[in-house]
Structure 1
Amino acid sequence: MDRRRLVGPHLVGADLVRPHLERPHVELRAVAGAVAVTPAPADPAQTQQDPAQRPAGPPAAPPARDGWWAQPERRVAALAVGLGAAAVALGLLLARDGVTLPQGARGLVWLGTLTVLFAAFEGFVVHMRVRRGAHAFSLTEIPMVLGLLSLNPLLVVLARVAGGGAGLLVLRRQRGLKLVFNVALVAAQSVVAAWVFHRLGGDLAGVSGLGVRQLVAVYSAMILADVVAAVAVTAVIALHDDPGEWRRLPSALRGTVVAAGLTTIGVVGAEAASQSPWSVSLLVVLCVVLLLVYRALVRQGNDRAEVGELYAFTTALDGAAELDEVLPVVLDRVRDQLRADVAEIVLTGPDGPPRVARMSGPGVVTDAEVPPFAWYLPALRGEPVRTGNVEGTVAGAEPVDGAAVPLPLGEATGALVVRGSLPDSGGFTDDRLGLLRAMANHAGVALGKAQLLDRLRREAAEKEHLALHDTLSGLPNRRHFLRLVDDALAGGGGSGAVLLLDVDRFKEVNDALGHDIGDALLTEVAQRLRAHVEGIGVAARLGGDEFAVWLPTDGTIEAGLARGAELSEKLEQTMPIGPLTIDLRASVGVAVAPLHGTDAHTLVRHADVAMYAAKETRAGLRAYDETADVNTPQRLARIADLRAAIDRRDLMVAFQPKVDPATGAVVGAEALARWHHPADGMVPPDEFIPLAEHSGLIRPLTLHMLEVALRSRAAWARTGHDLHVAVNLSPNGLLDVTLPEVVERLLAQTGSAPASLTLEITESSIMADPSGSLATLERLHALGVKLSIDDFGTGYSSLGRLRRLPIHEVKIDRSFVQRLTHDHRDRAVVRSAVQLGHALGLEVVAEGVEDAGALELLAREGCDLVQGYFVSRPLAPDAFTEWLTGQPVHERRPA
């Protein structure tokens, strides 16, 4: 049996291509009712397997090689040249022993008959399908045996090459490199057979009949020739398409058994011909019968193989979940089973030209060129079409050999198209069109599932991206930045710098120029940061006008500050924003690892502290300083404890009496906050009041003080002590626009008159926001609440401004009262304060009275009220009530 698998026509026009496909990432997505096919990076290569065992996706192509050897056609040509050269060299060795020409007309006729037999047997072959190609089986072993046993081996070689070449050229219409390779292979096979037969003495003269030596020679020659063919065909497939073809060489060598059988027929025929030349005609009849029977068996086997391949196709699709797996599987298997040169998926939508994904060799070409003619349009409208039953082309176009069927893809319109049937495939018949429709139905389901899965994954990826990135700038957000910094610390030796920057006066830009300009400014900042750290670090937007950068350093403060200076210089370059040009300044805080922290959260917090220090000092750039960090873990823990105490109403309200220095009668009391920490005991007010103001807890603390003070005052009134109560307000309290409503509600709930409540404020709190504070004071004054200036004499307000405030009382600071009996200058200040207050129509209160001398002097100067340790220390509510029962009741003066 002469067996040849030939190189595929899509590259060099032969019978078989075993393409080694790359697996690019292919995205198939719906766009406005259409489906777009776009490429992405290829997956790692995989080894190609037999059809029944191949994985879901075709394997990837081997890495591209440079030079002329990278082109498959050139590798095949080199192999053909090598085979031809080897055949010529071996033929020359045969020629050295001489050439015995046939004697007489009978010998010449026999030589011509052999040549015709070689041409006939080479032209009429049986093709057994193997993927897109076929094994070409012929019976040329029989005339080869007849020739070797009757003619000079070199003449047999010449007859075989001439006849075989004619059969390939005329009967099988082979051209180009395909013809060259097959002729070289025929020459190599025949010359190897002739040389082996000659060397083993099979053609020795004088031997009567076929002896053992001749039988060994002829069988060895035919089997070795078949081995040469198997190795050569395996080599050409490996060089052209699939280096893994060498794994299948052992199975290819099993064909030598058939070769031995055909050799036996040839030997029997030679023996019969030696007795009667006409018996050769019977041998020809036998060969024809064998060829027809074998062709029928092969056709039946091919049909079974087709069913198996269709099952393998569905199995492969079931195992392919990704679009980059499904699309190559569909095109590869369709191209194989329909034995087509080209397989395509054509997709159209309501707008725009068709989109084409094409396979005509290794790999899928996405966004391929659309053919200039559209013979497949009926398939896009839902009707199968093949060029055998339509006017296949437009006028002037090349004839088309193809078939197309609808590809069900939901809302999109698609077609599965094959073009260029292989020469030995029989064309695209109606049966093959039905097979293509079945494959298209399976492919449509698989592509639809993969498209849905891809869309879900893309949506999940988009959501994950949105969860980790800032929508305006596209930079990582705080959470993602912290993760990236932790990863960098873990993988980079634990050293680097976090730079946290804040755009100075950004609120003014937003207010003056609008949010569109503000957003454009932030986007420009993000772009500059991204460009500055690209490839070396990470930039992020933490929120508002606050950005963060991570850059690797040697871990020193100097290196971190140098990085910060570079960043500031980059940002402070003039920024063109639309028609405007903005000069930007930023405050940058630096925290370096591992000195200032070993994790991202700590480094960001410390860089934030440094940034605010840079902003407050207008330094522009500051490194983290532990001594300036008020947000220590202990302080944060204390704030948490304070919040819990306020929520549980665990803070105690103490009351310090206010008395008339002239009569000693109790007039009122000041409510003072006291906190007994469960672990640390009493916490001084000077410690927890600033904590409350800094952490935003001052409002609930103030509301708690107001409620307790007013309820206590109501209880005293029920016992006959109609006192007023004073509560301190923080600077932030004056900016609380809801404060008057809250005070009014508490007064109503406790049944207290507005004049029974005094709210004490400091001069500095008024000066922090004069206009806002004045508005709140006027609303409280209108409500009837008394207002007092606390720590009078230590502030910096002018007398003119003080005169315009709606206040009722001034309170002389304790720093002047405590040395009143020892320092004449303090006495002068107190005397002046009392006189000034009375001149302005205000009550004057002195705090810090700690001895009888001070009380006597204050009474003599006309001070209206006093409070201090000499009168009483601050008392708990029950203790104050008990102390109050022994005091004379003071008749209140009109407010």
Structure 2
Amino acid sequence: MAALSLWLGVATVVAHGLRIQHGGLPSSADALPLILLGAAFAATEGFAVHIRVRRGGHAMSLSEIPMVLGLLSVDPTLLLVVRLLGGGLGLVVLRRQRGVKLGFNVALLGVQTTTSSVMLRALAGPEPGDVGPVQWLYVLLVMMVSDVIAAVLVTAVIALHDDPSEWKRLPSALRGLPLVAITTSIGLISTLAIDRDPRAIALLTIVSGVTYKAYRSYVSQSQGHEQVEELYAFTRALDGVLDTGGVARIVLEQARDQLRAERAELIMPGPDGTQVRMRMHGRRQLDTTVLDTLPETAWWQPARAGTPVLVAKGSRVVGSIVDGIAVPVPLSDGATGVLFVADSLPDIPTFGEQHVRLFQALANHASLSLTKARLLDELRQEVAQKEHLALYDPLTGLANRQRFQALTDALRAQGAPVAMLLMDLDRFKDVNDALGHDIGDTLLRQVGDRLQSRLGDRGTVARFGGDEFAVLLPGIRTREVAVAVGDDLAAAMEQPIAIGHLRLNARVSIGIALAPEHGNDAKTLIQRADVAMYVAKTTRTGVRVYQPDDDRNSPRRLAMVADLREAIQRHDLVVVFQPKLETATGIVRGAEALARWHHPAHGFVPPDEFIPLAETSGLIRPLTLHVLEVALRRCASWRRMGHDMHVAVNLSPNSLQEADLPDIVARLLGQAGVPASALTLEITESSIMDDPAGSLVTLDRLHALGVKLAIDDFGTGYSSLGRLRELPIHEMKIDKSFVQRIAVDHRDRAVVRSAVQLGHALDLEVVAEGVEDEQTLNHLRLEGCNLVQGYFISKPLPADEFADWLAARVPQLGQA
């Protein structure tokens, strides 16, 4: 503004210098008319009507009246001096302008005066002569152009200082042209009247005052209507904005514009107890700051408690504001924000109660929109978090299997060669078992960080789950380069990892598959890298590239695993029941629940084939729970039919490592309405020997429930005899490999006899499985075996057939 003011002043001086050079010095004039003219300029500039255009202000005065008088009766140079002195006095004394703004307005008066004089002399000649209709039109045109020039210059200042878009509102700034036409006409009439009778000055004063009052009232009423329209426009603008930042920008812009303030601020609660402070000032700049705490002594603090604050000019407040208003902004969940404006623009005396009411109306609309926007932001954040969780591992922050596969397929779609490394931590289970899952999780996070740090931007690291990580290397064409990267990562993993006071070593086994040599899609490459990794782990070679000979059975195995997963999910596996007969009475005491799978393409799949698949692929848990649930439900139906029977279910070797197993069993017993004593859980002795201490904890909890426990396949573990007496078991099952030949082999008969005697010595019930003929049954009865099962009694039957068999059963041993 200062530079523009200086430029305008120089232009004015140069224009009049040229005029004096060509036209001579100004002619003399009476002092009294000049004094009166100066006073008129001071009064009209001092009592101006302000037309508000957004944040700018265009002052409309009645200065055209004395200006017309001066143009038609005073030398242009004297007119310039009188107007600058008189107008400047009015600006300083009446409108209290100072500094750069005063300098600009004085320069603007000079430009208007000079332009008007030059134009009128160009149109009407050096001496206007008699004032007639032609001169009237010239004067009217000159004054209109002068006002347009003033509007353009004021708009330029606002655009440079505050808002570049102010040029769009230039037409609104020209709304004062009708007043210019009126005041110019009054000036012309006054010139004619004073020329005939100088006492017409009194009438001119009256007409000018009435005109000023009328136009000021009109502008005030018009601006009141405009405020209502702006409030409606503000509401409509908020309706289309769906994010908090956009709403805040509109709110702060409107608050500054409608309240006529230099700056506006919005303070809202942020995440984790922080406060978000958004401030708009200057050229529509929006600054956002996140604060841990807010100043307790801030002048706007009462608004946070729901009380509006008004600070007028001259009030003594803490801070650097001249004046301000703060109002509360209620948000969702009982939170409250604060919206405030500070430092009123010069065109209003200070903030008052009417501004508080307008500000509260704005804040109410802002409250609704901010609440909606914050809720939408939370929803968007939740969606983004879910999308992130769908693509990234929550423990390590690395890509998960889904994202890894998508990246691989995207690279292959572009024809890019890739190498895929699949790695598994050796003996990670020992870390979890010995140090706990928290240490295990920390180890996994550090392994992920180390892999990513070592790899850098050469590829992508992912975690597939458990202790399995994967690396995708784009652009790798040879196995030598891929092996070199694998060796480098393996070496990095061998460096000790510090976790608290512990130093752990995380050795890895790495399998490598390359595209297109070993496959063209992510699924095939992962499968073959997994095969190579398994071979690397079993052969302890560390890093191995896939070879076709490594997985001769793998395609069928992988297909069977996928089919088995679907069959378990759809409950396509059938649960059959094989009865357990009491040898002494011939009564059916219970049944063993067994899973059977009829594959739609391969037909009947033996349990010896699909049970190991389930155990190695992580499907054994859902399979076991399915069998357990069906078995308990069927047992409940038998008991309702009057058969006091128990049901036996096999547990996999990994089941005893699951801490929640007793809780699940208790829940399923309750749902089925079966007493715990009617359930027998069969566990192989080898699974107990893998982790005797951990198994004993789980067995004790199951025993406390009242569930019966059985050692299955007794005699095949060899090492369990010494621990048998320490376990809370109720039943011992002799493996069928010893039972099937006792009628013809005295050695097997001796083994069975010893097992039965051992079981009875430990107060256990002894069960023999694999009874295929009557002779075997008789031998077992003579040895004192308590229960038997096998095809001679009955083959495993589907549930409905078993119920029919049980109903028709005559409890006589000879008819078994």
Same fold (TM over 0.5): yes
Shift of 1:124: 1.0
Amino acid paired to 1:180: G
Matches of 2:320 and 2:9 in 1, distance apart?
36
- State the partner residue of 1:136: 59
Is structure 2 residue 314 aligned with structure 1 residue 364? no
Is the CA contact (8 Å cut-off) linking 1:589 and 1:610 kept in structure 2? yes
Unaligned runs of 5+ in 1: 1-75, 651-674, 705-729, 742-758, 791-801, 809-876, 878-895
Question: Secondary structure of the residue that 2:286 maps to in structure 1?
Answer: coil
Matches of 2:148 and 2:64 in 1, distance apart?
13
Change (3 A) 1:633 1:406: same
Change (3 A) 1:573 1:91: farther
1:861-887 Cα deviation digits (max 9, x unpaired)? xxxxxxxxxxxxxxxx9xxxxxxxxxx
Is the CA contact (8 Å cut-off) linking 1:342 and 1:418 kept in structure 2? yes
Is structure 2 residue 50 aligned with structure 1 residue 127? yes
Shift of 1:229: 1.7
1:566-715 residue pairs with structure 2 within 5 A?
A: 566-630=488-552, 632-634=554-556, 636-637=558-559, 693=612
- State the partner residue of 1:269: 190
Unaligned runs of 5+ in 2: 576-596, 628-651, 658-680, 687-712, 741-746, 754-794, 796-816
Change (3 A) 1:430 1:634: same
Please point out which of 190, 200, 203 is paired with 2:126: 203
- Which structure features the higher share of helix residues? 2
Matches of 2:434 and 2:162 in 1, distance apart?
69
Deviates more, 1:606-615 or 1:255-264: 255-264
Matches of 1:227 and 1:270 in 2, distance apart?
24
1:466-865 residue pairs with structure 2 within 5 A?
A: 466-490=389-413, 493-533=415-455, 535=457, 537-630=459-552, 632-634=554-556, 636-637=558-559, 693=612, 738=683, 771=719, 787=737, 806=751
- State the partner residue of 2:212: 291
Matches of 2:366 and 2:20 in 1, distance apart?
59
1:452-479 Cα deviation digits (max 9, x unpaired)? 3333333343344334433322223222
Amino acid paired to 2:550: A
Matches of 2:387 and 2:738 in 1, distance apart?
57
Change (3 A) 1:563 1:260: farther
Please point out which of 303, 326, 336 is paired with 1:379: 303
Change (3 A) 1:772 1:539: farther
Matches of 1:540 and 1:283 in 2, distance apart?
89
Question: Secondary structure of the residue that 2:510 maps to in structure 1?
Answer: strand
Amino acid paired to 1:441: N
Amino acid paired to 1:302: Q
Alignment: residue pair count: 640
Please point out which of 164, 169, 177 is paired with 1:243: 164
Amino acid paired to 2:100: L
Change (3 A) 1:438 1:163: same
Shift of 1:546: 0.8
Deviates more, 1:179-188 or 1:627-636: 627-636
Is the CA contact (8 Å cut-off) linking 1:373 and 1:397 kept in structure 2? no
Question: Secondary structure of the residue that 2:444 maps to in structure 1?
Answer: helix
Q: TM-score, normalised by structure 2?
A: 0.68
Matches of 1:693 and 1:348 in 2, distance apart?
56
Matches of 2:365 and 2:456 in 1, distance apart?
46
- State the partner residue of 1:89: 14
Matches of 1:677 and 1:97 in 2, distance apart?
113
Change (3 A) 1:561 1:155: farther
Is structure 2 residue 228 aligned with structure 1 residue 304? no
Matches of 1:783 and 1:353 in 2, distance apart?
65
1:34-45 residue pairs with structure 2 within 5 A?
A: none
Please point out which of 169, 174, 178 is paired with 2:101: 178
1:661-691 Cα deviation digits (max 9, x unpaired)? xxxxxxxxxxxxxx999989999x9xx9778
Question: Secondary structure of the residue that 2:518 maps to in structure 1?
Answer: coil
Question: Secondary structure of the residue that 2:23 maps to in structure 1?
Answer: coil
Change (3 A) 1:249 1:731: closer
Amino acid paired to 1:88: V
Is the CA contact (8 Å cut-off) linking 2:714 and 2:733 kept in structure 1? no
Matches of 1:407 and 1:635 in 2, distance apart?
64
Is the CA contact (8 Å cut-off) linking 2:561 and 2:613 kept in structure 1? no
Is the CA contact (8 Å cut-off) linking 1:202 and 1:218 kept in structure 2? no
Matches of 1:259 and 1:504 in 2, distance apart?
92
Question: Secondary structure of the residue that 1:539 maps to in structure 2?
Answer: strand
- State the partner residue of 1:221: 142
Amino acid paired to 2:501: P
Matches of 2:176 and 2:719 in 1, distance apart?
105
- State the partner residue of 2:807: none
Is the CA contact (8 Å cut-off) linking 2:495 and 2:505 kept in structure 1? yes
Task: Indicate the percent of aligned positions where both proteins have the same amino acid.
Answer: 46
Question: Secondary structure of the residue that 1:200 maps to in structure 2?
Answer: helix
Matches of 1:128 and 1:322 in 2, distance apart?
34
1:788-820 Cα deviation digits (max 9, x unpaired)? 699xxxxxxxxxxx99x9589xxxxxxxxxxxx
Is the CA contact (8 Å cut-off) linking 1:355 and 1:370 kept in structure 2? no
Amino acid paired to 2:308: P
With a CA cutoff of 8 Å and minimum separation of 6, indicate the structure with the bigger relative contact order: 1
Matches of 1:84 and 1:299 in 2, distance apart?
33
Question: Secondary structure of the residue that 1:189 maps to in structure 2?
Answer: helix
> Greater Rg, structure 1 or structure 2?
1
- State the partner residue of 2:369: 446
Is the CA contact (8 Å cut-off) linking 2:416 and 2:475 kept in structure 1? no
Is the CA contact (8 Å cut-off) linking 1:157 and 1:194 kept in structure 2? no
Change (3 A) 1:647 1:760: farther
Change (3 A) 1:131 1:536: farther
Question: Secondary structure of the residue that 1:417 maps to in structure 2?
Answer: strand
Change (3 A) 1:260 1:515: same
1:138-160 Cα deviation digits (max 9, x unpaired)? 12222222211112222222222
- State the partner residue of 2:40: 117
Change (3 A) 1:553 1:217: same
1:230-266 Cα deviation digits (max 9, x unpaired)? 2222322332333333333455456545434433332
Matches of 1:329 and 1:135 in 2, distance apart?
24
Is the CA contact (8 Å cut-off) linking 2:510 and 2:532 kept in structure 1? yes
Shift of 1:564: 2.5
Change (3 A) 1:551 1:639: closer
Is structure 2 residue 95 aligned with structure 1 residue 145? no
Is the CA contact (8 Å cut-off) linking 1:786 and 1:807 kept in structure 2? no
Change (3 A) 1:775 1:690: farther
1:336-375 residue pairs with structure 2 within 5 A?
A: 336-346=257-267, 356-361=277-282, 362-367=284-289, 373-375=297-299
Change (3 A) 1:303 1:676: closer
